[in-house]
Structure 1
Amino acid sequence: MPVPSPSASSPSPGDPAPELSAQELAILALEGRTFRYVGAKERAIREEIGISKVAYYVRLNALLDDPRALRAAPALVHRLRGRRVSEHGEMPRRGGDRVA
């Protein structure tokens, strides 16, 4: 009787589902969506994820530093990392010091 290889029972490297929890995957999926109306995203956070807006952004920020999230959604994580506030607390300026 053949013995199954260890790789047969372990998840494949390209499958992110076993690595991230259902809530973490839902956070990434929600963050990848666009919302048309003011408050629609906050409502979706409460209804779909079931946590407060503050808790959502705390979890999202932690996910952006998590290599598992980078493997699960590389384009989204890179885009969101680029939008994060810099280490010094300053947002990058658009257009330099010009005044319109």
Structure 2
Amino acid sequence: MAAITAVATPAAIQFIVEDNGIGIPADQMPILFETFAQIDIPQNRTLRGTGLGLPISRDLARLHGGFISVESAVGQGSKFTVTLPRNLREGASSHE
């Protein structure tokens, strides 16, 4: 099961995606945001991605002056949080 939550504070907006899936082993966390990297989990071998989703998400968050973080425990699931500032960073453009 997955849940998506949005939280607004005066300084930032957070988008939180949580699941109670297989989780990510601690030794695989350092490569999680590397382009084309795929974590090695036996249960994941039939559902392989391209290794582009998280690096692209990280880069998009950075372009908006934000960041993405992850918490995970094997057998318990993962929580990804994208945090974006409420004000556009200097040099960013607004499309209204």
Structure with higher RCO (Cα < 8 A, 6+ apart): 2
- Say which structure is richer in strand: 2
Q: Which has the higher helix share?
A: 1
Determine if the TM-score, normalized by the shorter chain, exceeds 0.5.
Answer: no
